[in-house]
Structure 1
Amino acid sequence: MSTSSVAAALAAGGGGMHSASVVVAEAVSGSHVLKVQGYSLIKGLGVGKFIGSVKFNAGGRSWCIRCYPDGWGSECTDWISVALFLLNPDATEVKAKYRFSLLDQAERTHVPLHTEAVSTFSAKASGKGHDKFIKRQKLEQSAYLKDDCLEISCDVTVLKEICLAKDVAVQFVVVPQSDIHQHLGALLSDAGSEGADVSFEVGGETFAAHRCVLAARSSVFKSGLFGPMKEKTATSVKIDDMDPRVFKAMLHFIYTDSLPQMDSADATMMAQHLLAAADRYSLARLKLICEHELCSNIDKSTVTTTLALADQHGCHGLKEACFSFLKSPGNLKEITASDDLEHLMKSCPSVLKELVAQLAP
C-alpha cells in the first residue's frame, strides 16, 4: 500500500472508531569501500590507532569506516578491528544495520566475515563494529591480502520512520527480516510428504527433493532434471562418488543458503568435500564459503591436501593462501621432511612447479 493510500484510509474513519496511526519503516542503504594500499606499512601502528575512510553518505547521514590494524583494545592485539562511525551526531538517535566484508582478490568477490549487525548510533555512542574482525595472521595468509593491498567494504542500511497521522498514539509497524530460508528448509525436512518429485540414492541413503528448487539453484541440476538427459523422466537418481553426509549438507545449502551445524572436528574435512561438490554442481556461493573456511584453517597437516584440491577445482585464492603458508621456511622444511610433498609431486606436478617458481629468488 502506498503512502497516500494509507493516509486516505486513516482519514476515512467514521465516528465512534478509535483513532490510529501507522509508521512506515523505510530502509535506506549505502555502501563504501576502504582500500588499504601498503598494508605492511601500517602494521605496528599501535593499539587503538586507526586509518579512516573519507566521508560517505547513507540514509541522509554521513559515515566513515575505521580500520585498527593492531586492534582497538588490549584484548584484541592479535586481531584487525573495524568500526563504522556516524559523523557529526546530534541528539537524534540513528538505528542502522551494517555488515563488513573483505574482498577476495582472486575471485573479486566481497565476502562477509560476520553476520549483519543492528545498532543504535548516537552522540554518546557514535561508533560500532567488530573488535575481532579477522585475526592478523589469517589475513596475511589469505586471498584477502594481495600485493600488500586489501579492501574493506561496509554496507549500511538506515531505518527511517514516517508518521502518517497527527495527534494520535503512534504504533510501529515492524517489517521482519526475510524468513524464506526457514520455509524452504521446512519444505526439505518434509520432502517425503510435501510434493517431492525426485529422490537421490547416495551411498546407500535416499534423499527426497523438489526438481524446481534444485533447478533454480544449480544449472547442473537444471540440465539434468529438465534437459534431454535420462534424469528428466527418472524419479530416482543415483549419485556416485559422494558421501551421504556431504550430499545432505549440500541439499541443506540449496534450500536455505546456509550450512547445517557441524562438529568443529569435521569442519575442515567437510569443507574440502563440499567444495568439490559445489564445483561439481555449479554452486558458486557454496564454493566461496568453503574456500573461506579452508583459507582460515591452513596448517601443516592440511596444506598439501588443500593445495591439490584448490588446483583441481580452480580456486586461485585458496591456492595463493597455501603458497603463502609454504613460503615460511619453517613450514616448508617440515612439509619437505614428510611424505606429503612426495604425494603432491605425484598427484599435482604442475602445482609443485608453481611453488618452486614462487620460492625462487
Structure 2
Amino acid sequence: MPTQGSAMIDADDHGSASAIVAGTATGHHVLHVEGYSRTKEELPNGRFVKSRPFSVGGRSWCIHYYPNGASPRCAEYVSLFLAPDEDVAAPFKARAKFSLLDRAGKPLLFLTRRTRLCEYAFPGSGYGFDEFVKREFLEKSKHLSGDCFRIRCDIDIVEELRTEDRAAAPPFISIPPSDIHKHFGDLLSSNDGTDVTFQVAGQTFKAHRYILAVRSQVFKAQLLGMMRESRADEDYCIRIDDMQARVFSHLLHFVYTDFLPEMDRQEEALMAQHLLEAADRYDMQRLKLICEDNLSRHLEVSTVATTLVLAEQHNCEGLKQACIAFFKSRYTLEAVMATDGFEHLSKSCPALRSFPCSTKQKPDTSPVFCYRLSTAGSSPHFCGWANISD
C-alpha cells in the first residue's frame, strides 16, 4: 500500500488534455500613396478613397484614406480608418495599428497609432484616426519621397472562444498492446511442439491439442475426452473429408489468433459461408457470430435466398432476420424469386415458405403478416400477403 501522503499512479490511466483557447488572428497591409499632391487636390475635406480590399483573419478589409482630413476640425491632417469590405454576419472585435514607414520600410515609432479594441458590426463601420499625421510635417519630412509615402496597418482580430485537444504528457511507462495472438500465430506456423495432425482434403495440418481443446468443446471431447481414438500421442491423426483445406486453415488461424486472415470482399463473403458451418460444427460461437455479421453485410439479390437457408440450417437468428429484412418489398421478392437460390430455399427449408416481413409495405394491415409462397406448378411463386395477427 502507498504510504501516507504519497499518490498511487493508475497504470491504466493514460491521461488526456484539452485547452480553452482565446485566440487572435493577426495580419497587416501596406498602403502605398503614390502621387500624394494630386490626392490632396482631388479629395477635399471629408472625402476619401478606399484601398484595394485585403484579407486578414478570413475577413475582407479596406483602408479609408482622407488626404485633407475626415472632418472640418482636422482639415490640416491626413486621416486613416480601417473598415470591413464585406457584409458582417455577426459583430466582432478587432484592433488596428497605423504606422508611417520610413524609406527603409520600418515603422516610425513616434508616428504609430493604435486603436482600442473596437466592435465592427456592419460594412463601413470604420475605426482609426482623424489626426494621424499633420500634412505640414509630412510634406517637409524625408518620409514623403518622390511625392509618395507608405502606411502600414496591422490588425488583431479577437476570435471566438474555442476548445481544442492537446497532447497529454507521456506516461512514465508505456505499455504496448497485447500481442499474444501474434505469438500463438507464430507457434502455429512453426509447428513447434505439435502433437496432433489433421488430414483435410489431401493437405496436412499440425496443431496443439490443448490449444484446440481450450478453444472448442468439440475439439476437447475429440482430443482429450471419450471421443479420442486409442492411439499413441505422437502418432495421433484425424481425417476430415467434408471440409475444404483452405477453410480448415482459416479455422486454425482463428483458433490460435482470434482473428481471421485478411481477405478481399468476394473471398470474405464466400469463406464466411464455409466458416459458419465449421464454427457451428466445432461450437465456436464467436467465430459463428463473426461469420453471421460478414454475411449480413454482403447480402445481394443473388445470394440472400441461399444465405437464408444457411441461417435456418445452423440456427443463426440474427442472420435470418437480416435476410428477411432484405426483402423490402414485393418487387425485391420477385427479383429474388427469379434466382436459383430461391428454388433451393423452397426445397431445402419448407418451413420458410411462410416467413414474417416488414410492415412498411402494408400500413393498412395488422402489424404481423407473412409473405406466403405457393409451390403449385413448376416453381414457387408469390401468392400474396396473409394476416397472421389473430
1:1-361 equivalences under 5 Å are 26-27=11-12, 123-125=163-165, 172-191=172-191, 194-231=192-229, 233=231, 235-355=236-356, 358-359=370-371, 360-361=386-387
SS across alignment from 1:327: coil
Q: CA deviation at 1:25?
A: 5.5
Q: Which is further off, 229-238 or 267-276?
A: 229-238
The aligned amino acid for 2:178 is S
Tell me the alpha carbon deviations over residues 204-227 of structure 1, each in whole angstroms, 9 at most, x when there is no partner: 000000001000100000010000
Q: CA deviation at 1:27?
A: 1.9
TM, length-normalised to structure 2: 0.50
Assess if the C-alpha contact under 8 Å between 1:226 and 1:232 holds in 2.
Answer: no
TM, length-normalised to structure 1: 0.54
- RMSD after superposition: 3.2
Q: Following the alignment from structure 1 to structure 2, what is the Cα–Cα distance between the partners of residues 3 and 259?
A: 44
Q: Residues 189 and 335 from structure 1, CA distance in 2 versus in 1: closer, same or farther, beyond 3 angstroms?
A: same
Tell me the alpha carbon deviations over residues 58-107 of structure 1, each in whole angstroms, 9 at most, x when there is no partner: x9x9xxxxxxxxxxxxxxxxxxxxxxxx9xx6669xxxxxxxxxxxxxxx
Q: Following the alignment from structure 1 to structure 2, what is the Cα–Cα distance between the partners of residues 182 and 338?
A: 43
Higher RCO by CA contacts (8 Å cutoff, separation 6 or greater)? 1
Unaligned 5+ segments in structure 1 are 8-22, 30-58, 62-85, 93-121, 127-158, 162-169
Tell me the alpha carbon deviations over residues 269-296 of structure 1, each in whole angstroms, 9 at most, x when there is no partner: 1000001100100111101110111111
The aligned amino acid for 2:328 is K
- Per residue, is there more helix in 1 or in 2? 1
Q: Following the alignment from structure 1 to structure 2, what is the Cα–Cα distance between the partners of residues 258 and 179?
A: 12
Runs of 4+ in 1 over 6 A off after TM superposition: none
The aligned amino acid for 2:188 is L
The aligned amino acid for 1:350 is A
Q: CA deviation at 1:171?
A: 7.5
The aligned amino acid for 1:339 is D
Q: Which has the larger radius of gyration?
A: 2
The aligned amino acid for 1:188 is L
SS across alignment from 2:278: helix
Q: CA deviation at 1:326?
A: 1.7
| Aligned residue in 2 for 1:13 | none
Q: CA deviation at 1:263?
A: 3.0
Assess if the C-alpha contact under 8 Å between 1:214 and 1:221 holds in 2.
Answer: yes
Q: How many residues align?
A: 217
Identity %: 46
